[in-house]
Chain A
Amino acid sequence: VRKLVYAINVTLDGCCDHTKAFLEPRGDGSNEGMEEILQHYTRLLGETDLLVYGRKTYQLMVPYWPDVAKNHSMPKAANEFADTFDSLDKLVFSRTLEGAGEKTRIVRTDLRDEILRLKQEPGKLILAGGVALSSQLIELGLVDEYRIVVFPSVAGEGRRLMEGVSLKEKLPLQLVETKVLKSGCVALRYAKA
């Protein structure tokens, strides 16, 4: 039996738009803070053997990261993230996506059944990201762990985590771990209570 983990970056005001949760680069263009974030996620990918996305998030990640993996065109931390990302199996839930990259399976229907079946298989973590599909996974009660990185900024606008998610009742969580990154990001890990 394996766990389904949901990972997301949010700002202090709960915005989870990938263009808003970021750290400013230094004057010389270097960005140790974002490198540390990538290292954090590379470690998480190391515990994972299946990535689960909706179409939008999948298309944000692919072909972007596989291209980085091929060309090693970015700083070391990003190239290492890309290599690990590229090596993993992916599952995309989409009614419209016609083709997908390597190691990717497209699933059209029955999100719940598919995830329940995959959870029964032996293996490492199943990792979900993005917002739309993950909101459904949360509503269906399928998420076993939440790994939330809180960025030290207020976005002021943009889509917020849990926006539009309708829970039958409030969902208590158990805090498992907090980790402070040098940039002031706080990595939180919660399990379903």
Chain B
Amino acid sequence: VLGRRTYDMWSGFWPKAPSSPMADAINAATKYIATHRPKSLAWGPFEGLGPDIVEGIRRIKSQNGRDLILWGSSTLTSTVLDRGLADDVLLLVYPVLLGTGKRIFAEGTPPRSFELTSTKAFPSGIIMNSYKAAGPLRIE
């Protein structure tokens, strides 16, 4: 599941990427795209989410199949979290200070709590934390 901007970035990269388990899996997977211009989609297999993105994601979730991954796509991520459509959230923390740059979770995202389900540190110092959505956060 990708927003249009991430899809456009990925479609310029993955189809030409050398074969690897990750590239092959991404190229083979169905890409469900949030877009107003479904006619201009080219990198497949793809399917538009339709004019109502939330309804589109609900429809796909209700079908049988393997898990859906929403990746990057910060605009779409806000919508998906706000509407309670994400079952698990995986956050990777890199061991670097930048000071500036694009933030995940835009200003104005409704307060929300999560339950930590696992954490794993890689030899590189990258940490992968997995969370389950646990509903809105009650501010004291």
A residues sitting closer than 8 Å to B (CB atoms) are: 12-14, 20, 22, 24-25, 138, 150, 152-157, 160, 162, 165-167, 170-175, 178, 180, 184-186, 188, 190, 193
Contacts and interface: CB of A to CB of B under 8 A. Distances in A.
Contacts of A170: 96-99
Per CB-CB distance, the 7 closest pairs between chain A and chain B, nearest first, are A184-B116, A175-B125, A13-B105, A156-B109, A171-B97, A167-B99, A152-B114
B110 A156 contact: yes
A165 B98 CA distance: 9
A171 B96 contact: yes
A99 B111 CA distance: 38
B131 A152 contact: yes
Contact of A184 (B99, B107, B111, B114): B114
B61 interface: no
Nearest to B131: A152
Interface of B: 81, 91, 93, 95-100, 103-105, 107-116, 119, 121, 125-127, 129, 131, 134, 137-138, 140
Contact of B113 (A14, A24, A188): A24
A188 B127 contact: yes
Given A13-B103, A13-B104, A175-B125, A162 B98 contact: yes
B127 A178 contact: yes
B121 A178 contact: yes
Contact of A156 (B96, B112, B129): B112
Given A156-B111, A170-B97, 7 more contacts: A13-B105, A150-B129, A153-B113, A154-B81, A175-B121, A190-B95, A193-B95
Contacts of A20: 111
Contacts of B126: 175
A165 to B, nearest CB: 5
Given A150-B129, A184-B115, A13 B96 contact: no
A172 B137 CA distance: 33
A173 B116 contact: no
Given A154-B105, A171-B97, A186 B129 contact: yes
A173 B98 CA distance: 11
Contacts of B107: 156-157
26 contacts: A12-B91, A12-B105, A12-B131, A24-B113, A152-B113, A152-B116, A153-B112, A154-B81, A154-B137, A156-B107, A156-B109, A156-B110, A156-B112, A167-B97, A167-B98, A170-B97, A170-B99, A171-B96, A173-B125, A174-B95, A175-B127, A184-B114, A184-B115, A186-B129, A190-B95, A193-B95
Contact of A172 (B96, B111, B121): B96
Given A178-B127, A186-B129, A188-B127, A153 B96 contact: no
Contacts of A171: 96-99
